[in-house]
Structure 1
């Protein structure tokens, strides 16, 4: 059987692709990032006007490309037109039909340069202005459009009757799913291309056997599939040679609830893949992430934005030079077992841990064995990319569960080996267990499947710990020019418990024409050096030798922020957990008042990107960028001190219109997760949780949960707390395998406890001999 599966995989790799899909995928990611920085193209009048320009200007210009007065050199497509063209091409059958009906051939991109490639637009602008003298080549996306688009639309209907508005809205969420570091990695993309060929091979086999199946890709496969479709002539040619037809990519179906097309399709694709190739279909870094977090603003901040430049650390920044820790995401499944000793009557399961526990994986976890229990259980977690994962085969007597489980054998996997290019970031094979004495005569084997992402830098997690008060002589009065110290110090401690620095707020009396008392924050390093980190000047705090100053607002601004760190770059502070820290469950808790999210605005992220998260009650800081560690410590200290003295309501602008926030773990993306996939999958996902404790963190938060139709997502089992649940049909959520937690429920039919979660809704299928595809929503 295994030999046949290897031959099937080799056969799949014979499928010929005419384009360099790795390069095409990277270019697509850059383009989608550019569009995401101009979100007016997702909806509203700018989108409608872009569609008009695409239909009335770009397609006719592209059709004239072969004419002698245009053919010299490539055309550079305007950004707005390229976005609509992108979405049109992602329905390849419709695009092919439209082009052939109105222009007699498929309009290709072989002599077109993307706007992101930085090529000179002079030649294209000259041609455009000659053809469309009243329409500018570049659409100013920052202005309100005053033109009556509705009057112009009839002129453009001759290009296609395809609903491009709906197509754009379906494609807009795709960038969030693929905007991950692993998606830009050459080795990851090389594997994705191979898996894309495997995906096409399954569809080919279904056509040959007249099997109707809606094949649903994971997101690594889907990124490559999209990249292929963006080369329409090559795509049609390659599909005809491989499948005998142009494979459809209808993205109109997005319902992920139990029993619907996407649910059934992903289950069927997973089973067919594993039976055909003998390897797991899930892939670390390629599964559905859930819905994108809510933005903090719908209006981009564009005033004088610049990209953050890396500068040499000054003496203050050197105070907080911390070791750079990396982590990988891991998916792990125990597929099968061989040579269980005859007469054995215990329940078998696997415990696993790191031989040398690290910051992310520092406890023992458990997994069932698929071949023993008939249900898939996949553990998803993070760990440092070093050392070994250690596995123990355990046997528990069903008649006496009070007795400790018996270890029957052990094995290990080197994480360094998995990162070797030869392993292509995954491994699935039989491992011989080192036996314990008296356990059978034949060696026991475990089939372990594991997949990892490429390593990325972890955020810095720090803890502010207040020390005991200093004993001051109550009869002591500060002399002129002397410093009056505060009563206590705060220690800054990293995740490993190492003290980084001590910090204190104090009052300083300056003697001049008038006696002036000033506040300042000082930091003391381990060597005893003292540095002034901030001082209170007139009405606000100024951070010394950092990136500007911020001042307390009397009440929340229109976008909800209550502090600003003015400088380079612009930084705003919002109450609660925002963006990547946004809670994902359905409950609402006042405990979110303890948090504050620091949001950075740059030319790359004009809508804001989460820079740090402060838990001002527990003193936990999570900082995503190195340059912000020291400013972040100083800010958190000042804010914590202010909140403690003034109370929360006064601190948050007298409590005006403050909404309660949902409670969950600190980082919605960095949670331990375990998937449980049953044969019948009739039970709803529960919020079984595992409490995370780092550097004295208070834990808290909720386990699983989806707010309305999450679909195909791996559900978190991180941090104990308030449970979770699904509101309105989670669909294919992955069951947590953690411990503890208050549980959860589902309102409205959660769907299968499944399946690692495919690409949120895209797929292809073959029906009968013709191989007609079914809808999906990449």
Structure 2
């Protein structure tokens, strides 16, 4: 930011906003969350009923009593009416025109409270009942789900002609885009308010210069803009003072394709913002998240079950101890270089990594420099805020037809990530960093890199666990205080992402002593941890499933029906269902062909807070990995996963076709050296405003990961389509499809790029890999897939059955 840009920014911050938009934004998020719990408000027939009540009941009541001196407290608007009112106000020009046409003034929300704020609604309900004796104050949504969509509602003649149903459908997905932890953080929102003022200032300058430009906000700016519009009287006054007109909010465009209005508008807005203020327009945690995930239930699910003994639950919660990791999202761009070494021709670029090992960020990350390449590239990735982000300036000498010269290191600098844990730390950085030169000369000038970085608020990372089959213990082993006969059996170990063992499980067969059922056998799951002094029985079978952790949890297998996709239920203090495939928050955004339904299972919680479901865990059946969002759920889900793998084997699931002899040979060769890559944690995403650049993926012990190409911004030219896939062999344990190699994704590609060759070697890589595909300039199809040879599919090593 030079002096003139700094003055422009200071001028923008002088724009007066007469409302506390941080408070308003948090209130809006709470309200949108409540509406999302009642998703029937998005569609008919309840949507039709809500629109009728809003037009014919709420607005007349508001007009009559909003400024009344007889009220002892504020008016409390019913949820359905507030949702329609919310969407109406988000077209401020239309809302103003409608209010003035029918009520002679803009109807304010000054003396109105949302029902989610917990204010007493007795007074408002009394007024409502007196004015509308045949219309209930609060809707019973379950009752009205049976109302036919074409049914007409009796009452006053409708007035407003604005298409509120379409407005609701346009806003129905907004909550998903802003429902991220950063959006509730004061630091993040404070920066968003400043960016919103900068956004308004640009529009003001465009008006002064008679420039017609469709300015497109990022989602942090849009959240603040919505919060301002929801205060209709203040918004109109502030807009007239700031830019001389009431700024219209056009949400009718949703086509994010390259060259369309949104895409062009965002590119022009980004360019103007960066030229005006000298700071990046993109923002970590504020960009388009792709489409909202598909629901697992179309109607809210009941969650009637008995809450288990809390003290017993706490007993088992302490049975295992897991380290809690934090994670941040990062957007990084290298803007320029100063004092470049004289006489060095060739390519300058920057690599980045964390100083300490990081479970989210791998090595080999590379970025071009805008001032050198002329192309704007930004990298999007996750990392732990536990050390420093090290950036290394590299120089690649000019290529020679006969000699390939390795890149040379020029210098390094770093950005502290631990500072992000400070609640007062800035979430954005853009400045010149002096490099620590590798080869210093007395007369050399210091080299600087202009670096722009943006971070989200640090949040708890999911717990990652991996299933590993251990070798049988020798009879003289003394690792655990168990009987000699127990030690010769093999165990299934669960290790965390650092490779530290968390628990060992074993399935045992015990003969039934009941003479009437001698032919039956009883099984149980035994667990041992390094923190416990004895083995614990963690699960025993029941007539319809399994009882877990002294009956605190129950795992039940359900009969498959065409209406319901879930096949298991896990009930205890909380109610959960298990679905085939990746659902909700775990729904794949790219490489969907490779993330097949049979390879994953999602645990979805249903409660009063999440009646339509919330994904809390993911089983990766192919790689034997778990991802669990909450520590209190780790043990019951971990034990359930172990049992489910055993069930799948017994059902003849094709994954369990390898012989035990083959499995034992493979385990002996690997044992503790085995590493199971979690394809959810290890994928690096590269984002680019204009072109799409796919980062090379590391080919780990368990096969290559899928590329993930995203385009920066609210508008995405090639949005969320699959990038090239990482090459090589899917060696190691359970390599999946031997790794996709050499994929390439070009400028206007709209689908998955081709993937390249490789073989699924090691212990059971299933399909040999896909071969050298290529997606052309305007290609809309996948590149070709190619050869390679796969190993056996095998699954039994994850289990310790007998």
Tell me how far 1:585 sits from its aligned partner: 3.4
Q: Within 5 Å, which residues of 2 pair with 1:338-357?
A: 338-357=338-357
Counterpart CA distance in 1 for 2:258 and 2:650 is 51
User: Does the CA-based 8 Å contact 1:713-1:733 persist in structure 2?
Assistant: no
User: Does the CA-based 8 Å contact 1:673-1:715 persist in structure 2?
Assistant: no
1:102 is aligned to 102
CA offsets per residue over residues 652-692 of structure 1, 9 Å max, x none? xxxxxxxxxxxxx97879852112345xx4xxx47655248
Tell me how far 1:303 sits from its aligned partner: 3.6
Give the one of 694, 697, 704 matched to 1:690: 697
Residue 596 (str. 1) matches residue 598 (str. 2): no
* Aligned-pair Cα RMSD in Å: 3.5
1:402 is aligned to 404
Residue 467 (str. 1) matches residue 470 (str. 2): yes
Q: Within 5 Å, which residues of 2 pair with 1:155-304?
A: 155-158=156-159, 160-304=160-304
Q: Which runs of 5+ in 1 are unaligned?
A: 473-480, 652-664, 752-778
Q: Within 5 Å, which residues of 2 pair with 1:109-188?
A: 109-143=109-143, 144-146=145-147, 151-152=152-153, 155-158=156-159, 160-188=160-188
2:558 is aligned to 553
User: Does the CA-based 8 Å contact 1:285-1:329 persist in structure 2?
Assistant: yes
Give the one of 498, 501, 508 matched to 1:499: 501
User: Does the CA-based 8 Å contact 1:48-1:149 persist in structure 2?
Assistant: no
User: Does the CA-based 8 Å contact 1:580-1:668 persist in structure 2?
Assistant: no
Q: Within 5 Å, which residues of 2 pair with 1:532-543?
A: 532-543=537-548
User: Does the CA-based 8 Å contact 2:581-2:596 persist in structure 1?
Assistant: no
Cα gap change, 1:370/1:750 in structure 2, threshold over 3 Å: closer, same or farther? farther
1:444 is aligned to 447
Counterpart CA distance in 2 for 1:422 and 1:490 is 45
User: Does the CA-based 8 Å contact 2:328-2:457 persist in structure 1?
Assistant: yes
Counterpart CA distance in 1 for 2:308 and 2:100 is 47
Counterpart CA distance in 1 for 2:281 and 2:342 is 32
Cα gap change, 1:691/1:41 in structure 2, threshold over 3 Å: closer, same or farther? farther
Tell me how far 1:30 sits from its aligned partner: 0.5
Cα gap change, 1:730/1:192 in structure 2, threshold over 3 Å: closer, same or farther? farther
So what's the TM-score if we normalise by structure 2? Answer: 0.83
Cα gap change, 1:666/1:309 in structure 2, threshold over 3 Å: closer, same or farther? farther
Larger deviation, residues 144-153 vs 317-326? 144-153
CA offsets per residue over residues 481-535 of structure 1, 9 Å max, x none? 9988994211111110111121100012353555563100001112552010101
Report 1 or 2 for greater relative contact order, CA contacts < 8 Å, sequence distance ≥ 6: 1
Give SS of 1:402's match.
coil
Tell me how far 1:103 sits from its aligned partner: 0.4
User: Does the CA-based 8 Å contact 2:469-2:492 persist in structure 1?
Assistant: yes
CA offsets per residue over residues 418-439 of structure 1, 9 Å max, x none? 5545552111000111123256
Cα gap change, 1:494/1:117 in structure 2, threshold over 3 Å: closer, same or farther? same
Cα gap change, 1:614/1:169 in structure 2, threshold over 3 Å: closer, same or farther? same
So what's the TM-score if we normalise by structure 1? Answer: 0.85
Cα gap change, 1:309/1:92 in structure 2, threshold over 3 Å: closer, same or farther? farther
Counterpart CA distance in 2 for 1:305 and 1:240 is 56
Give the one of 576, 583, 590 matched to 1:578: 583
Counterpart CA distance in 1 for 2:310 and 2:778 is 49
Aligned residues: 718
Cα gap change, 1:262/1:448 in structure 2, threshold over 3 Å: closer, same or farther? same
Give SS of 1:635's match.
helix
Give SS of 1:314's match.
helix
Q: Within 5 Å, which residues of 2 pair with 1:359-758?
A: 359-400=359-400, 402-420=404-422, 423-437=425-439, 441-469=444-472, 487-511=489-513, 514=516, 515=518, 517-526=521-530, 528-545=533-550, 547-556=552-561, 558-585=563-590, 587-589=592-594, 591-648=596-653, 671-678=683-690, 681=691, 685=692, 690-691=697-698, 700-701=705-706, 703-704=708-709, 713=719, 720=726, 745=775
1:53 is aligned to 53
User: Does the CA-based 8 Å contact 1:711-1:730 persist in structure 2?
Assistant: no
Give SS of 1:134's match.
coil
User: Does the CA-based 8 Å contact 1:461-1:495 persist in structure 2?
Assistant: yes
Counterpart CA distance in 2 for 1:21 and 1:310 is 41
User: Does the CA-based 8 Å contact 1:711-1:731 persist in structure 2?
Assistant: no
Counterpart CA distance in 2 for 1:190 and 1:601 is 34
Residue 25 (str. 1) matches residue 30 (str. 2): no
1:43 is aligned to 43
Give SS of 1:107's match.
coil
Tell me how far 1:383 sits from its aligned partner: 0.7
CA offsets per residue over residues 311-335 of structure 1, 9 Å max, x none? 7963432232101111111110000
User: Does the CA-based 8 Å contact 2:378-2:686 persist in structure 1?
Assistant: yes
Give SS of 1:550's match.
strand
Counterpart CA distance in 2 for 1:306 and 1:509 is 32
Tell me how far 1:649 sits from its aligned partner: 7.1
Tell me how far 1:157 sits from its aligned partner: 3.2
1:317 is aligned to 317
Tell me how far 1:575 sits from its aligned partner: 1.1
Tell me how far 1:606 sits from its aligned partner: 0.9
Cα gap change, 1:307/1:454 in structure 2, threshold over 3 Å: closer, same or farther? farther
Cα gap change, 1:591/1:105 in structure 2, threshold over 3 Å: closer, same or farther? closer
Counterpart CA distance in 1 for 2:390 and 2:294 is 39
Tell me how far 1:645 sits from its aligned partner: 3.1
User: Does the CA-based 8 Å contact 1:32-1:175 persist in structure 2?
Assistant: yes
Cα gap change, 1:586/1:507 in structure 2, threshold over 3 Å: closer, same or farther? closer
CA offsets per residue over residues 543-597 of structure 1, 9 Å max, x none? 1236421222242462201111123311111111111111223653584312111
User: Does the CA-based 8 Å contact 1:353-1:361 persist in structure 2?
Assistant: yes
User: Does the CA-based 8 Å contact 2:67-2:111 persist in structure 1?
Assistant: no
Give SS of 2:446's match.
coil
User: Does the CA-based 8 Å contact 1:430-1:447 persist in structure 2?
Assistant: yes
Cα gap change, 1:749/1:13 in structure 2, threshold over 3 Å: closer, same or farther? farther
CA offsets per residue over residues 151-192 of structure 1, 9 Å max, x none? 44894431x211101000000000000000110111111111
Counterpart CA distance in 2 for 1:692 and 1:323 is 27
Larger deviation, residues 360-369 vs 512-521? 512-521
Cα gap change, 1:741/1:676 in structure 2, threshold over 3 Å: closer, same or farther? farther
1:772 is aligned to none
Give SS of 1:235's match.
helix
Counterpart CA distance in 2 for 1:722 and 1:441 is 45
1:336 is aligned to 336
User: Does the CA-based 8 Å contact 2:506-2:526 persist in structure 1?
Assistant: yes
Counterpart CA distance in 2 for 1:435 and 1:484 is 60
Counterpart CA distance in 2 for 1:319 and 1:622 is 19
Counterpart CA distance in 1 for 2:111 and 2:647 is 60
Tell me how far 1:121 sits from its aligned partner: 1.0
Counterpart CA distance in 2 for 1:713 and 1:307 is 44
